[in-house]
Chains A and B, each alone.
Chain A
Amino acid sequence: MKRKSRVGLSVLAIVISLVWIFPVYWMLNSAFLPTTVLERFTPTFLPFGGSWRNFTSAMDDGTFFRALGMSVAITLIVVFFCILFAFLAALAISRFKFRGRKTFIIAVLLIQMLPAEALFLAQYKMMSSLGLLNSVVGVSIIYVAAVVPFTIWMLRGFVAGVPADLEEAAMVDGLSRFQAFMKITFPLLAPGLVASGVYAFLQAWNEFTVALILLPAEDAQTLPLWLRGFVQASATRATDWGEVMAASTLVAVPVIVFFLIVQGRMTSGLVSGAVKG
């Protein structure tokens, strides 16, 4: 590629990066500024003279850590089971021919088209009768069911992308099917598993409409509910933007950290050429 156009593209890429990151930056910036500054009509673009005060007052009552605990527990369960279930199902549909396979594939696709806004009464009734309201398990069941179709889709592509003859070749070399699978196929699937995990993580961490209904007790709140309560409570007075932004940052930070950790593996997995075969 010509050098000049390459520089132009790089500049373009950086401009796009800045535009895309601006709302995130704005949240951080505002989180450090006092309300008096935020109330001004002229925006303040750099948090000079800022402080951690908004953060300390947002975490004041200790409910943040309780909500963090709930969110972490739910997210871990959802990520684990989504990957496990989806992996098994993806294996079934891309490695086996069986009756009902096509129905299963289409059902998995259609389930994602269900609008969720009118399901809440039924979800509540079901979890209440199972005694799973306000529990990590109840809400996790709904989340796994909501996320698993998509992760099956995602993994199906990855599993199909690994040629079965690679495994068979390894079996000829004396490995058992299981060994062949673990040694040959699994490493090739890793990026797909990570990508599915990331997707499940995001969904479970961010969801709040189902959580609102299935986790009505205050001490069962997840982080998005905590944040929403914060925004709403603040709205009955004059919205304290600084504190709200600090609270938003607190909810976003764990995801960002997780992403930055996984990001390297995900793209290195993808880019290293493992998938190119």
Chain B
Amino acid sequence: MKKTMIGAAAATAATALVLAGCSTSSEEETTAPTTEASTGATDEAMTAESADITLWLMGGDTNDDLRQYLKDTYAEENGGTLTIEEQGWGDALAKLTTALPDSANTPDVTEIGNTWSPTFTAVGAFSDLTDMYDELGGDSLLQSFVEVGKKDDKNYAMPYYFGSRSIIFRKDIYDAAGVAQPTTLQEFNDNAAKLKTDDMSGFYLGGSDWRNGISWIFANGGDLAKQEDGQWVSTLSDPNTQKGLKMLQDLYTSASNAPVGEFDSTPWVNINNNESTGKPEAATIMAPNWAHWSVGLTSEDENGDVVVGDDGTTPVLTWDDDTFGTFALPGVDGGVAPVFAGGSNIGVSASSENQDAAKQLMTIIFSDEYQTMLAGAGLGPANLDFTSALGDDQFAKVNIEAASGSKLTPAAPGWAAVEGSSLLEEFFGKVNAGGDIAALATEYDAQITPMLNG
């Protein structure tokens, strides 16, 4: 009994916070009926029957502290148990496809890759959260991610976190070669070509790694697809896209030793000193911002043994400012290039039988505390009011700088199918293998366009 009362009190407190965080500038918000509706929704959330619900998270980006917070807070506010299940990215598509429509086994709330959001939103996998939109952060939410979770002006999938891609480079190697930090994209390419040796990539780029590669397209004003008269069309043949692809091909050929088939690499292993040679495999890499946790130098203890982590075998890496540096990929005319905005959306499964409890979990996820914690863990928070919690170190600065111009893949309903078909890996691999860019673009445009519209 006592526990329930504390829970109710906590819920009230949380609600107060959420309400305080609400933006009142939104037009709908000022009309009386909506306010009533939103209060109604909150009441409902507060009194939501205690229910055991399941949350699916993709991969390990949401760390254990964050998970524990969600479980504890949910238990306090709802009284039920929150089960969190981690899904590997590789198998997630098959599992979402089968489980989401199945009310008996669906996760109540699920994270989903931002590039898959349009597809699953279009088929009605998620519940309509338009009523809660303002409560969850409203216009403070990262709008490009809100956009991919929208259908017919209603909100379904919400942003969860974002991470933009930035450059990590070997300051020591740049300095030794007398190469300065670049200010334009062309300079970046030239530097990388200059630094390349047989044993070291100037810039380590997997040949089929389109998620990094598209930055060169975006920077040149190109895109992967656009909407024409309500229909999506693949735009690999667009002159700006072609310009970007040419630049990318030059870069790969002149600066990267990575295999042409590599597409989902962990490039940070290449910028660390290798155990046998004491030298890195790459002078420059591009990776999601949080990769800096995996970059650094090993240290030795008094016995001359490499210091290892808790598991007893993995060496501890410490970032060293004299060896490593980071910057946002520069644009064609200076400034910052638009890079691929990685990250996830999150939504309530439409087939879930615990809609109220699931919505209650959503309010916890979008609460000030949790958004602050997300940012504290280095993930770009869905609610941009909390980006300051990312900190003010060099990584946070570069992250925010890169995010400012970052771009998402097209919000086409068939986008998940395009990704699932591996056509992009194939296309970028062929371009980087030295293929005829114009001919390849025509060929792949013809294959991708029919898939885009679902």
Contact = CB atoms under 8 A, between A and B. Distances in A.
Determine direct contact between A and B, CB below 8 Å: yes
Interface of A: 34-37, 39-42, 51, 53-54, 56-57, 60, 120-121, 124-125, 128, 131, 133-134, 212-213, 216-218, 228-229, 232-233, 235-240, 242-243
Interface string B48-70: 00000000000111000000000
A26 to B, nearest CB: 17
A213 B95 contact: yes
B179 interface: no
Contacts of B312: 34, 51, 53, 56-57
B89 A232 contact: yes
Nearest to B269: A238
A40 B276 contact: yes
Given A128-B102, A133-B105, A232-B88, A212 B95 contact: yes
B60 A236 contact: yes
B131 to A, nearest CB: 30
Given A41-B274, A236-B59, A238-B294, A36 B85 contact: no
Contacts of A128: 102, 104-105
A125 B103 CA distance: 11
B308 interface: yes
29 contacts: A35-B313, A36-B298, A36-B306, A39-B275, A39-B276, A41-B274, A51-B312, A51-B313, A53-B312, A56-B312, A57-B311, A60-B311, A124-B102, A128-B105, A133-B105, A212-B91, A212-B94, A212-B95, A213-B94, A217-B85, A218-B86, A228-B91, A229-B88, A232-B89, A233-B59, A236-B60, A238-B269, A240-B314, A242-B313
A53 B276 CA distance: 22
Residue of A35, A54, A121 with most partner-chain B CB within 10 A: A35
A37 B61 CA distance: 27
Contact of A131 (B60, B86, B104, B275): B104
A216 B98 contact: yes
B94 A120 contact: yes
Interface of B: 59-61, 85-86, 88-91, 94-95, 97-99, 102, 104-105, 266, 268-269, 274-277, 294, 298, 306, 308, 311-315
A235 B266 contact: yes
A215 to B, nearest CB: 10
Nearest to B291: A237
A184 B85 CA distance: 54
Given A60-B311, A239-B266, 18 more contacts: A36-B306, A36-B308, A36-B315, A41-B277, A42-B276, A53-B313, A56-B312, A57-B311, A120-B94, A125-B102, A134-B105, A213-B95, A216-B98, A216-B105, A233-B88, A236-B266, A237-B60, A238-B294
Contacts of B105: 128, 133-134, 216
A228 B308 contact: no
Contacts of A218: 85-86
A240 to B, nearest CB: 6
A218 B269 CA distance: 30
Given A39-B275, A217-B85, A120 B98 contact: yes
Nearest to B56: A216
Contacts, number: 93
Contacts of B294: 237-238
B57 to A, nearest CB: 11
Nearest to A53: B312
A133 B105 CA distance: 8
A264 B275 CA distance: 45
Given A238-B294, A239-B266, A36 B98 contact: no
B311 A53 contact: yes
Top 7 nearest A-B pairs by Cβ distance? A232-B88, A57-B311, A53-B312, A40-B276, A39-B275, A34-B313, A124-B98
Contacts of A240: 311, 313-314
A34 B298 CA distance: 14
A237 B266 contact: yes
Contacts of A35: 313-315
A217 B85 CA distance: 7
A236 B342 CA distance: 14
B98 to A, nearest CB: 4
